[in-house]
Amino acid sequence: MKTKTETERLAEEFLRKAKLFQANVEPIKVLKARVYQIADANVLIRTASEGNSKYFFGINYITIEEIANLDNPFIAFICGSIDKTVIIPAQLFFQKLPDISHDRNGEYKINIDRNLTLVLRGKGRRFDCNEYVNAWDLLLKPFDIPEPKNTAEESLHSILQGRLIEIGNNRTFRTYCPDNSKRFNNKSLSEISTLEKCPRLQFSDYDVLRKIDVLWFREKKSKLIPEYAFEVELSTGIWSGVGRLATLIDYSNVNLYVISNDLKRYNQVMHSFSDIEYRYHHVLTEQVGDLYSAELQLKELRYQIGL
């Protein structure tokens, strides 16, 4: 029988306590990190064993960004004991990231001291977390917003679209996305896309083309030439995305990508399109995150060294 680690034990204790409040507790399976829906909140759980003077947590930027883009998000830092849990709104923590040290892989080194204050960069700088210690009232209060609430799956779909748009922008493509009202890092996707309208193409059905999740175009003189097209398929079954991308099949230079975590299902669908299967590429959702993180780090390094 496998022995549970101290961090696993603390996480389970946190979830048991949440259930004592008669809150619904469900794992969010579309994310790799330890994230749970607790009542109306989405909570990333991080644990640290008792240390000498500080509690150490490591969180990758990609994970923090995914949590911060969910509806009503929180991060629970369990500092050695369930009675010393900092339950902080993820958006607030996201704002503190520039003041927290990280390595070149986007891994943030989070230190919370014995006084339960967050250690920031710079001598003596701290963020007092005491109002968030055991803040179950924040976590459990109803989440009431006028807009329709997003599921974790819908939020991840928007995150992946936003990352693909940002990668395209970084590579100097002109980018288009049809979901103008969806948001990524507190901006609408229309704000970060560089094209307000989808260009019309001679050999493509425009009504289908303008519904593709993300498109990258290259400017050539006065024309916009399509080069990359992406469909994010988390729950709609692969078929619909493959079908929309097929409207660009007559453009031999266009790379067609399906983003999903179901490679088996993707292969099953593509076997039905054996004559054009070679035109398509499958990418796992986490690989989009890895690429996006690498692009951000390269951009930062270029800025730092001026090259």
- Note the pLDDT of residue 47: 94
Say yes or no: 236 and 92 in one domain. no
Instruction: Kindly report, residue by residue over 199-211, the tens digit of the pLDDT.
Output: 999 999 999 999 9
Q: Is residue 36 part of a domain?
A: yes
Average pLDDT over residues 294-303: 86
d(CA 283, CA 232): 10
Q: End of a domain among 119, 140, 161?
A: 140
Lowest average pLDDT, out of 70-74, 169-173, 282-286, 299-303, goes to 299-303
- Burial of 123-143, coded b for 16+ CB within 10 Å and e otherwise, reads eeeebebeebeebbeebbeee
Say yes or no: 65 and 210 in one domain. no
Say yes or no: 50 and 194 in one domain. no
Domain housing 265:
152-305
- Note the pLDDT of residue 287: 95
d(CA 44, CA 90): 9
Average pLDDT over residues 11-16: 94
Q: Is residue 291 part of a domain?
A: yes
Say yes or no: 105 and 247 in one domain. no
Residue 66, domain CATH: 3.40.1350
Say yes or no: 122 and 158 in one domain. no
User: Do residues 39 and 73 lie in contact, with contact meaning Cβ atoms separated by under 8 Å?
Assistant: no
- Note the pLDDT of residue 3: 64
Q: Is residue 285 part of a domain?
A: yes
Q: Is residue 58 part of a domain?
A: yes
- Note the pLDDT of residue 100: 93
Say yes or no: 124 and 166 in one domain. no
Say yes or no: 24 and 68 in one domain. yes
Say yes or no: 178 and 119 in one domain. no
Q: Is residue 145 part of a domain?
A: no
Q: Name the phi and psi angles at 92, rounded to 5.
A: -65, -45
d(CA 231, CA 242): 8
Q: Is residue 262 part of a domain?
A: yes
Alpha helices in 1-151 (DSSP H): 6-20, 61-68, 90-96, 136-140
Average pLDDT over residues 3-30: 90
- Note the pLDDT of residue 122: 87
Average pLDDT, the chain: 91
Say yes or no: 116 and 256 in one domain. no
Q: End of a domain among 140, 174, 209?
A: 140
Q: Which residue has the higher pLDDT, 281 or 237?
A: 281
Say yes or no: 84 and 132 in one domain. yes
Instruction: Kindly report, residue by residue over 229-244, the tens digit of the pLDDT.
Output: 999 998 767 888 999 9
d(CA 70, CA 1): 36
Percentage above 70 pLDDT, the chain: 97
Say yes or no: 83 and 176 in one domain. no
pLDDT band, very low/low/confident/very high, at 194 (cuts 50, 70, 90): very high
Q: Give the residue from 106, 220, 97, 232 showing the smallest Cα distance to 159.
A: 232
Q: Is residue 1 part of a domain?
A: no
Q: End of a domain among 140, 166, 190?
A: 140
Say whether pLDDT at 176 is over 90. Answer: yes
- Note the pLDDT of residue 106: 83
Say yes or no: 161 and 88 in one domain. no
Q: Is residue 147 part of a domain?
A: no
Total of domains in the chain: 2
- Note the pLDDT of residue 76: 97
- Note the pLDDT of residue 39: 92
Say whether pLDDT at 1 is over 70. Answer: no
Instruction: Kindly report, residue by residue over 107-160, the tens digit of the pLDDT.
Output: 898 999 999 999 999 888 999 999 999 999 999 988 877 667 889 999 999 999
Q: Helices 61-68 and 285-305 meet at what angle, rounded to 10?
A: 110
